Amino acid sequence: MKDSFYSSFEGMHRGDREDIKNRLCVYLPFLRPFSLTSSDRVLLDLGCGRGEWLELVTTEGFTAKGADLDEGMLSYCNDLGLDVVQDDAISFLKQFPDDSIDVVSSFHVIEHIGFDNVKLLIEQALRVLKPGGIIILETPNPENIVVASSSFYLDPTHIKPIPNQLLSFLTEYIGFARTKVLRLQENKLLHSKDDIELIDVIAGVSPDYSVVAQKKSDDSVMSQFDEAFGLEFGLSFNVLANKFNSNLNNKFYNFSIEIDSLKREFNVITEECNHLRARNDELQSMVAEQHSEIARQAAEITRQDAEIARQDAEIARQDTEIARQDTEINDVKQLVGKSFFNRIKSIIKGN
């Protein structure tokens, strides 16, 4: 095998062969009805790359032919003995007659060739397909914001992303009878995830999509493919955005319920606080009254202490006065006694 820049780039970013083949199995419901409608099933793969798809459809009974411009890619196919040529997609298609092919597939090619060439490719595919034949066009999905703004431009050969609405319209405009959009390669856990986050909306949309379009045929042929065209695939931006909005609304609703509950609790607490405040005011009033009474009683005690002190002073004064009077009485007694004694003595002497 011979590696080129692009084959090396694919090897790093696209994944290994088995992973790619497992991903491509999503298209088998569109291929298996051909076993009922076509005896010699032929498939053309445009931009066949390393040939994973050619390998897979060969095991499904198709005669598979591929074309690619990259020599490094084709070396993988040649090593596997696959039927491939080095050619561009449109030139390759032009080599086949009208109504001769069952399936035309193109995986991650149309984003490389410009819109006018995409239109021409689809016109040529419609020409070479048998009635009831299908075209598969897989490409990066610009619904995924990370793809549209960043990862698409990792490949320097990409020109511009193509919205699925435009590609679906183009296939119908050119003449295909019906189309189906398949969104691909998303994280499967997101399908059942309830708590969708903003990062899921930005990066979780299916990073690839394909348009499968079918050429008009009899109802007996078209009906064999109804089940496949009725299947749903992948995650769109709207689905994830609606889930995110629903989740956000549920959170807001739950928040509003919690807020209402908190408001009720707050009102109860406020009422209790008001009751406690009123009780506190009542107690403070009682304390103030008690303080006033204590002050009055303290003043009365002070007055009584002053009165007692005054009375003590009066008693002391009276005690002093009594002592003074006792002294005077004693002095008088002594004086009277002395005078009386002298008179008696004088009387005695006179006799």
- SS3 label, residue 209: strand
Half-sphere exposure of 127 (CA within 13 A, CB side): 14
Query: Cα(177)–Cα(214) distance, rounded to whole angstroms?
Result: 6
pLDDT per residue as tens digits for the range 81-113: 999 999 999 999 999 999 999 999 999 999 999
The answer to whether the predicted template modeling score (pTM) of the entire model surpasses 0.85 is no
Written as six digits, the tokens of 208 are 């690839």
pLDDT per residue as tens digits for the range 132-146: 999 999 999 999 999
Residue 32 CB contacts under 8 Å (≥ 6 apart), including other chains: 60
Residue 350: which pLDDT band, with cuts at 50, 70 and 90? Answer: confident
Residue 168 CB contacts under 8 Å (≥ 6 apart), including other chains: 179, 181, 211, 213
**Residue 65: its H or E element:** strand 63-68
Instruction: Enter the DSSP assignment of 185.
Output: S
Least confident of 121-125, 145-149, 343-347: 343-347
- SS3 label, residue 101: strand
pLDDT at residue 1 above 60?
Answer: no
pLDDT per residue as tens digits for the range 230-279: 999 999 999 999 999 998 888 888 888 989 999 999 999 999 999 999 99
Contact between 156 and 205 under an 8 Å Cβ cutoff? The reply is: no
Contact between 67 and 88 under an 8 Å Cβ cutoff? The reply is: yes
Q: What are phi and psi of 177, to 5 degrees?
A: -75, -35
Query: Cα(58)–Cα(307) distance, rounded to whole angstroms?
Result: 128
- Please give the angle made by the CA atoms of 73, 92 and 104, to the nearest 5 degrees: 85
